[in-house]
Copies of this chain bind each other. A is one copy, B any other.
Amino acid sequence: MSKIILLNNRPVGTPQLSDFKFSEEEKPTIAAGEILLKTKFISVDPYLRGRMSDAKSYIEPFQLNQPIASGGVAEVVESNNEAFKKGDFVSTFLDWKEYQISKGKGLLKIEETKVSLSAYLGVLGMTGLTAYCGLMEIGAPKAGETIVVSGAAGAVGSIVGQIGKILGCRVIGIAGTDEKVALLKSKFGFDEGINYNTTTNMSKAIAAVCPDGVDVYFDNVGGAISDGVHANINRFGRIAVCGAISTYNATTVPMGPRVESFLVKNSVLMQGFIVGNYAAKFAEATQQLTQWLQEGKLSHSETIVEGFDNTPQAFIDLFEGKNKGKMVVKVY
């Protein structure tokens, strides 16, 4: 048998374990041209919260009583397809199932070389590409500029900050615990870190560590943290809006200071994006990230939760910031 995880309810506010349902199905049998994938790692990501709602978005919502799906790493355990052999590892989009069939399309063959297989869900996968493309294409930082990153200890934020340092920028990170803030400086090389949970006036806190103002803001969180950064944005500042995790579980429209005045006063750019917009840059980005990784210029951090059954809880924990870096579930 093969365990699967279905969407039981559309979450209201913060997702609950009861929004997920475990089930089982027969371990599938492959036909000609097909391969059988055994899930090794499952990526849990904040954006999945959006797909659990039925609101219009850039990606189709999950269906009730159907499997959740996300990025994953799998092992080929049976193959009727010439392009894959038993024992190959692939990175692809997977249903939350222990076993599933693939016809071989959209699979990226990967190898466990200098990095663990799970890195292909993080620094060399969607989160690394999100960091690289959002920062380079929207933030377009120049050496000497100041970059602020929210959700800085997270999977995307920690890579954004390191790229900023590689490019010669001053980099400030915002995170939610003193431990994470310490990690920003010790592991990821940020110049300064701010713990938003112990900061009463974010605007003043940003001003204190950004004497020349903020040129680039890479925003993963939105909400009151961002208000404090916006108040310090420089003329011709660029805000890459990658996510707004602080508002994903809101049940009413989150309200905040209107942005138009500072956008006009300082000729500021705000650009929302998803990584898929920059597919044309993926090859270049992956090559650059791999090189930096091999040169030891890029550290990556993972929180690995063990066991397929813990996938829903790992996802829920994202919203309480329990992860440091990429949150991944190790299935086997």
Q: Which residues of A contact B (CB under 8 A)?
A: 50, 56-58, 219, 222-223, 226, 235-236, 241-244, 247, 253-274, 277
Chain B residues with CB under 8 A of A277: 236, 267
**Which of A219, A236, A242, A261 has the most chain B CB atoms closer than 10 A to its own CB?**
A261
What residues of B have a CB within 8 angstroms of the CB of A57 in the complex?
265
Given the complex, which residues of B lie within 8 Å of A223, measured CB to CB?
A: 258
Contacts of A260 in B (CB 8 A): 219, 222, 226, 241, 243-244, 247, 272
Contact B267 A273 (CB under 8 A): yes
Assembly of this chain: how many copies? 2
In contact, B257 and A244 (Cβ under 8 angstroms)? no
The residue on B at minimum CB distance from A270 is B270
Contact B254 A257 (CB under 8 A): yes
Besides A269-B270, A269-B271, 11 other A-B contacts (C-beta < 8 A): A226-B260, A241-B263, A242-B264, A244-B264, A255-B255, A256-B258, A262-B272, A263-B270, A263-B271, A264-B273, A267-B271
Interface centre among A222, A242, A243 (most CB of B within 10 A): A222
CA distance in complex: A236, B57 (Å): 12
Q: Is the CB of B219 within 8 A of A58?
A: no
Could you say which residues of chain B place their CB within 8 Å of the CB of A263?
A: 241, 270-272
> A268 contacts which chain B residues (CB < 8 A)?
271-272
